[in-house]
């Protein structure tokens, strides 16, 4: 197959996928008589149902006792390891860890369930399954009632290799 045919085929497939993924809006007979670009006919945008309004007076601060970026060293392929980050509630309100997520399924974080009183310490635990080969960099996102930012990014780096 020539290069030009490959490019054309790839472009067509991409356009089909993009078109198939778009959502078709619900249009009624009454809507079809009105221009879709007329601002007077556009629905008011509402905040998504999962959008919460936060009372910032309940926010606190977090101090990471461990570095937020860790060098784990050399890892054996397929061997699970646990990485931890210790923190302290350095504010004067209870610290609530709302969510802990990772960039892929090979990294599984554990979210602390209990609130942390001012001065209390806690740990974010992450299990990495040892998949991959070579240098890895994984991110863990922690969402909490903290200021100035509600989301903290933790990072660990390692080299997955059979060499000792």
Taking the complete model, does pTM exceed 0.85, yes or no? no
Give start and end residues of each alpha helix (H) in 22-164. 29-32
pLDDT in tens, 123-132: 999 999 999 8
* Domain boundaries defined on the chain: 58-160
**Token pair of 105 as six digits:** 């399924």
pLDDT in tens, 64-122: 999 999 999 999 999 999 999 999 999 999 999 999 999 889 999 999 999 999 999 99
> Residue 39: which pLDDT band, with cuts at 50, 70 and 90?
very low
* Architecture of the structural domain at 58-160: Sandwich (2.60)
Burial class, 135, CB count within 10 angstroms (exposed 0-12 / middle 13-18 / buried 19+): exposed
């Amino acid at each position: 197959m020539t290069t030009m045919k490959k490019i054309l085929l790839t472009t067509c497939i991409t356009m089909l996928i993009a078109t198939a993924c778009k959502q078709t809006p619900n249009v009624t007979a009454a809507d079809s008589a009105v221009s879709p670009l007329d601002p007077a006919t556009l629905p008011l945008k509402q905040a998504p149902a999962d959008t919460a309004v936060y009372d910032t007076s309940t926010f606190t601060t977090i101090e990471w006792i461990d570095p937020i970026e860790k060098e784990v060293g050399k890892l054996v392929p397929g061997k699970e390891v646990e990485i931890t980050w210790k923190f302290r509630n350095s504010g004067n309100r209870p610290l609530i860890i709302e969510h802990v997520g990772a960039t892929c399924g090979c990294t599984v974080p554990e979210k602390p369930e209990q609130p942390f009183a001012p001065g209390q310490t806690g740990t974010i635990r992450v299990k990495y399954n040892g998949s991959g080969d070579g240098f890895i960099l994984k991110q863990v996102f922690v969402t909490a009632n903290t200021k100035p930012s509600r989301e903290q990014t933790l990072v660990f780096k390692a080299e997955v290799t059979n060499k000792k």
